[in-house]
Amino acid sequence: MKACGFTPLPIYSPSDEYPAANEPVPTEGRCPWSRAFEDMIEQSEFAAVIMTTTCDQMRRTAELLEQDRGDIITLTVPSTTSISSMRLYQSELRRLASFLTSRSGTPPTSGAILGAAASIRPRASQKAARTPVCLLGSHLPVPFDVFEAILEEHGACIAIDGMEAGPAFAPSLDDFTEGASLEGTINALGEAYFSQIKDSFSRPNSAFYRWLSLELKSAAPKGIIIARNCWCDKWAIEGIRIREWTGLPTLELEFTSGELSVSAISRLEAFMETCRND
Amino acid sequence: MTEIPNRITVKEWDRRFAEDAAKLMDAHVPYLKPLTAYVEEGDTRLTRLKFDPSPASLWLWNFLLSENERLSAKLEDGHRLVGTMKDLGTVPVMAYSLPNLTAFYPDGAWWIPCIMEANASALKAAEELGINESVCPVRAMVGAIAAESDFPVPGLMVCAVGATCDDFSALAQFINGLGHAIHWWELPHRRAPAAGEESVTLQGGLSAPASLVSFVVEQLAEIRKALSKYAGSELTDEALRLGITEANRARSLIREIRNAVFSSKKRLLSAVDLLIAEMLIIHFCSDRDECIRLFEAILSEVRQREAVEPDSDAVRIFWVNPPSDIKAMNILEDCGMRLCGTDFMFTHSLSAIPEDLPPLEALAMCVLADPMIGPTRDRAGMITAESRRLGAEGIVVSRIPGASHCAFEGSIIKELAGEELDIPVLELEIPPVCDAYEQSMRGRLEALRETVIARRTSQ
């Protein structure tokens, strides 16, 4: 995106700048984040919108948004990890490059891609002297720093930031080098990203558990918070396994609307009490 | 007056079992027994259903309900069982091309909570593992595998993920986490070809980039290797071609049955029997040859009725999605309506597999025609076109509790069918046992019928 002249804006929660326009009306089977995202896109003016297939709710939301607009592209991010799936992912990145070029008029160059890769830094959590917790999950109803501050107010610090948009799943691009051609550079970028996917949506998701095992040993959190939206089947079911596999106190914080409810905060409070007393 | 079709209960069937069994003597159906035998084994929902009264229907239900016994017998005979998951119709075609493999869909466990009602130990087993009713009824699959109840656990499981339901994907991963090996393969999102991009035309008038067909061919090639290794013999192109030919025989028969039933002015088959017959096509109910014989018998029955049944003025309904409780099909008919078209989420497995292409390429084209992997608008377009062709007077979209696609598709189908056909579209959530909601369901279906009747009168 940067190499094509755009400013990438990852959106993983509503914010003051991009609020969810309407209070999401609970719809049976539809996750409130997908509804909030649809509202945000419809109310805002972005030069381009990139969505992916990593979750069914967002895949179908992309279909709704694509119906009447030409500024949206849905990238297939494979769930499986074979070489053939990697080649599919690389071809999707090439397709993304064509799409972005058509929107900006600025075709990417290998040098621009390399420069953009060097400038991307994942967010860093503050690790204050509080009860360490592991945070997993997808989208929050409030910006991450707001959520982090709420956790700190209740005595927690995020020792492991395993949110989907977080540093754990941002690949290291230190070894990424320019290819012999633009296509080669895009392919190399694709390989760098694909080979480091360790999200829970992968099938199998053993890489996620290997990562989690190492992090738990290193950071020794007192508990795990799984922040997920209502109707998010992937995290609802994964949460069961995580709870049993880790044996740690686990809080599933489910968001049913576009805000962090009083009951959710009460549950956080009670959970932190448990973690401190354990 | 609301016209009710001729249907039969389990008890009535018991009384005439000897007579019906005699009619099927020449067909040699050794597993035929009174359906109350299955009720005694726990399939208690049968006592609340009404069935088509034909001997072919008795055969159909026996074939369906004896599947687990058949799978166990196949194991004892030295067959190896393949659990195919989510693709709904393609991988079994490959598996049945090898003589010692039998494929079935563990996904089918999603009807266990319906058929077995409170006896469904699979659901209880899933709950004990922490998977509750906020997840689609297919969670019974996890319980059935974990508890080794309901069906033998297959030695090889082949699961499609990617552009599939998140709950199924997560449940399959959960099964993997319990220690069951799974051969995963990518079912990609079907997107429209870009301008100038090489494309192919699929069934139903859909199109896809040629590059996606090539990708799926690679996926199927890996599945072929896995099946060959598991079977202990190579799955050659020649064997696949023969397997495709046989699968096409079955598909041709079910298409004929559907076309005859849907396009007729007469009631030719009870809705619940048509639902079950149609579902058999995805894995032939674990016996491809027997499935073909059964379809021939059903088609013969349908043809005979075409000659003698009176015309029906029941309201013609196109039904979308399999109902979690099959009793909904009886209720539809009780309300004076009949099926004139269906999309049970596997229309890609009803069409003929091309026999003039390399076999994996032909199968890849079928995979990509899956109505659930592309934009809902594509599916809505096909439903609208079929509804127009078959003269549907209304559409019912059956919502499956906990299924994410249901949250999106109803409004899209309503919008498209409404614009193009101007017929009423009703969304109806149907739980695995709908008894507590039956009055409300009947009320809504009756209102739909009244809307259609009023339109008929005014036209």
Supply the DSSP string of chain A, one letter for each residue.
-GGGT------SS--SSS--SSPPPPBTTB-HHHHHHHHHHHHS--S-EEEESSSHHHHHHHHHHHTT-SSEEEE---SS-SHHHHHHHHHHHHHHHHHHHHHHS----HHHHHHHHHH---------SSEEEEEEES--SS-HHHHHHHHHHTTEEEEEEEETTSGGGSPP-TT----SSHHHHHHHHHHHHHHT---TTSSS-HHHHHHHHHHHHHH--SEEEEEEETT-HHHHHHHHHHHHHH-S-EEEEEE-SSS--HHHHHHHHHHHHHHHH-
- Token code pair at residue B19: 């007579």
**Are the Cβ atoms of A29 and B406 closer than 8 angstroms?**
yes
- Residue A82 with chain B: CB contacts under 8 Å: 186, 222
Q: What is the pLDDT, as a whole number, of residue B4?
A: 67
Helices A32-43 and A56-66, packing angle to 10 deg = 30
B158 neighbors B226 (Cβ within 8 angstroms)? yes
- Mapping DSSP to helix (H, G, I), strand (E, B) and coil, where does residue B22 land? helix
pTM, 2 dp: 0.95
- Residue B188 with chain A: CB contacts under 8 Å: 76, 78, 88
For residue B123, is pLDDT > 70? yes
Q: Average pLDDT of A250-257? A: 90
Gap between the Cα atoms of B100 and B113, Å rounded: 31
Query: Which residue has tokens 């239900």?
Result: B61
Of residues B310, B315, B309, the one with CA closest to residue B332: B315
Q: Average pLDDT of A133-162? A: 92
Query: Which residue has tokens 């390429």?
Result: B361
Mean pLDDT score across all residues of chain B: 94
Confidence of residue A26 (pLDDT cuts 50, 70, 90): low
A-B interface: how many C-beta pairs under 8 angstroms?
A: 127
Q: What is the pLDDT, as a whole number, of residue A95?
A: 96
B401 burial class (0-12, 13-18, 19+ CB within 10 angstroms)?
Answer: middle
Gap between the Cα atoms of B456 and A127, Å rounded: 70
For residue A70, is pLDDT > 70? yes
**Would the ipTM clear 0.90, i.e. be above it?**
yes
> Which pLDDT tens digit goes with each residue over B84-106?
999 999 999 999 999 999 999 99
Of residues A257, A248, A192, the one with CA closest to residue A225: A248
> Which pLDDT tens digit goes with each residue over B337-367?
999 999 999 999 999 999 999 999 999 999 9
- Residue A241 with chain B: CB contacts under 8 Å: 174, 177
Best A37, A72, A79, A254 member to test B by mutation, with max B CBs in 10 Å, is A79
**Are the Cβ atoms of A29 and B169 closer than 8 angstroms?**
no
Q: Which residues contact B38 (CB under 8 A, 6 or more apart)?
A: B46, B65
- Residue B402 with chain A: CB contacts under 8 Å: 29, 233
- Which residue in B130, B162, B399 is closest to A79 by CB distance? B162
Residues of A engaging B, defined by a Cβ cutoff of 8 Å: 27-31, 53, 55-57, 59-61, 63-64, 66-67, 74, 76, 78-80, 82, 84-85, 87-88, 91, 95, 98, 201, 203-205, 231-234, 236-238, 240-241, 243-245
For residue A21, is pLDDT > 80? no
**Are the Cβ atoms of B184 and A203 closer than 8 angstroms?**
yes
For residue A24, is pLDDT > 60? no
- Residue B172 with chain A: CB contacts under 8 Å: 203
Confidence of residue A161 (pLDDT cuts 50, 70, 90): very high
Gap between the Cα atoms of A168 and A222, Å rounded: 19
B144 neighbors A34 (Cβ within 8 angstroms)? no
Q: Residue A71: left (phi > 0), alpha (psi -120 to 50), or beta?
A: alpha
* In chain A, % of residues over pLDDT 70: 96
Q: Measure in Å the smallest separation between the Cα of A180 and chain B Cα atoms.
A: 24
Query: Which residue has tokens 């439903």?
Result: B383
Please state the separation of Cα A268 from the chain's center in Å.
Answer: 22
B118 burial class (0-12, 13-18, 19+ CB within 10 angstroms)?
Answer: exposed
> Which pLDDT tens digit goes with each residue over A96-146?
999 999 999 999 999 999 888 888 777 776 666 799 999 999 889 889 999
For residue B1, is pLDDT > 60? no
Gap between the Cα atoms of B40 and B34, Å rounded: 11
Gap between the Cα atoms of B287 and B44, Å rounded: 25
Q: Rounded to a whole number, what is the largest CA-CA distance in chain A?
A: 59
Of residues A41, A46, A51, A34, the one with CA closest to residue A96: A51
Q: Which residues contact A208 (CB under 8 A, 6 or more apart)?
A: A198, A199, A200, A202
Q: Average pLDDT of A240-258? A: 92
Mean pLDDT score across all residues of chain A: 89
- Token code pair at residue B311: 């015309």
* In chain B, % of residues over pLDDT 70: 99
Say which range, A82-86, A227-231, B297-301, has the weakest mean pLDDT: A227-231
For residue B403, is pLDDT > 70? yes
Q: Measure in Å the smallest separation between the Cα of A15 and chain B Cα atoms.
A: 25
> Which pLDDT tens digit goes with each residue over B420-437?
999 999 999 999 899 999
Q: What is the pLDDT, as a whole number, of residue B402?
A: 77
Show which of residues 415-454 on chain B sit within 8 Å of chain A, judged by CB atoms. Answer: 429
For residue B23, is pLDDT > 60? yes
Query: Which residue has tokens 């895009």?
Result: A186
Confidence of residue A25 (pLDDT cuts 50, 70, 90): low
Q: What is the pLDDT, as a whole number, of residue B5?
A: 73
> Which pLDDT tens digit goes with each residue over B271-324?
999 999 999 999 999 999 999 999 999 999 999 999 999 999 999 999 999 999
Show which of residues 132-161 on chain B sit within 8 Å of chain A, judged by CB atoms. Answer: 134-136, 159, 161
- Token code pair at residue A232: 């998010």
Buried-state track A132-168, b at ≥16 Cβ within 10 A, e below 16? bbbbbbbbbbbbbeebbeebeebbbbbbbbbbbbbeb
Whats the size of chain B, residue-wise?
A: 459
B158 neighbors B180 (Cβ within 8 angstroms)? no
Task: Provide Rg for chain B, Cα atoms.
Answer: 21
